[in-house]
Amino acid sequence: MVLIAPSLLSADFAKLKDEVLSLEEAGADMIHLDIMDGHFVNNLTFGAPVVKALRPYTKLPFDAHLMVEYPENFIEPFADAGADIITVHAESTVHLDALLRKIKSFGIKAGVALNPATDENVLKYVADIADVVLLMSVNPGYGGQPFIEETTEKIARVKKMLKGCNALIEVDGGINALTAGKCVSAGADILVAGTTVFKGGEYRKNIESLR
């Protein structure tokens, strides 16, 4: 069954603890944490102290998606804060192999994220290390963007490339009831959704619509 990872980017930042509790009660499988530094992407969100503050309130896995420059400086703080998965962008480092191994040295899962225009062939060299491959189906930085349709073909190609590996395919951006079906049919295992999950405050209904 596909896993649903609501993105806190669309949550009410004034009551993040309550939002996390509500998402767990609504049946979310994990919490997606969009970490933005205002440099790799224009937007700025929150850092490791916020993740650490939220950690005691849920047993759901924390999926920290680092949209940052110099991600090597962020690995230990987010591992210490309680992240279960740390995902770094292939475009943000020249030492992707070493960075993934560093993440795994903390006993947590390592993910690789690819922007829409990034060739998936970079995965050939880290497929045996990565636990998650995150394919961006919008350009990173802001929620509410429309789904890039070419992503479904990319998912299928990556699925074929990862045959024999244990990595799960995660898709992030423009996910709704219609695009969710396309992604899962192409091979996605995890769907990240912000706007769709939080719409109207009907978290359980919205999560089930994606399944």
Among candidates 86, 103, 90, 109, which has minimal Cα distance to 32?
86
113 forms bridges with which residues in the sheet?
89, 134
136 forms bridges with which residues in the sheet?
172
From 34, 37, 63, 131, active-site residue: 34
Contact 175, 183 (CB under 8 A): yes
* 29: annotated active-site residue: no
Contact 32, 172 (CB under 8 A): yes
From 29, 37, 131, 172, active-site residue: 172
N-term to C-term CA, the chain: 8
- In sequence order, what E strands does the chain have? 3-6, 31-36, 62-67, 85-89, 109-114, 132-136, 168-172, 190-193
Q: What string of DSSP letters covers 83-109?
A: -SEEEEEGGG-S-HHHHHHHHHTTTSE
* 80: annotated active-site residue: no
114 forms bridges with which residues in the sheet?
135
Catalogue the active-site residues: 34, 172
